[in-house]
Structure 1
Amino acid sequence: MQLERLAPGQFSLNGIVNFDNAVEVESEGRKLLEEDVAPGGVLRVSLGQLLKGDSSTLSVCLSWIRLAQSKGGHLCLSDIPVELAALAKVCGIASILQESTCPTAS
């Protein structure tokens, strides 16, 4: 698993994020995101290559969203797996994920 920079401000979360590696994923991802976050800027993180996630994956995403906000930026998520969106609904944080969903290109 890794957070990969695709282009400035664009990232992809790949592999498996679970309780076993969530702390490491969050920490390594934080370092990478901090390099690109700027006031008024948008960080885009695709979850389309996420092979497996659980509630710890949601925690990692929330941490990164807070990081961007604390720096005056915005982090949006795209390609959220259906299972992760359903888990967010059960956990009561679907609205947070919805607010952080990247707008689709038209």
Structure 2
Amino acid sequence: MDILKRIEKLREAGAHFSCLSVIDLGDSFEIVYHFLLKGKPKDLVVKVGKQEKVRTISQIFPSAELYEREAWELFGIKFEGIRLKRLFLPENWPEGRYPLRKDSG
């Protein structure tokens, strides 16, 4: 099932987006979307390749944009549908170097 359809179903069920986290598995990433649904935590885990693009969920949950930008900046995960601009790293930070990746030198 498409990630946006899964996220939309959660929103329709009354879920609130909390944040997302990233796990670097070496050859791929797990993106964990954290929600609160009826007072209980609910996580959605999506596995993506290192070069794979992920569709933004910010049109469903606007607050997700901040976390998606952070994941791009620190892990190199590219999200389609938002303008990716830096949050934390200085403008002169080397392009293609992502400080939280396992393969970052």
TM-score by length of 1: 0.31
Give the structure, 1 or 2, with the largest relative contact order (CA under 8 Å, sep 6 or more).
Answer: 1
Rg larger in 1 or in 2? 2
TM-score by length of 2: 0.32
Structure with more of its chain in helix, by fraction: 1
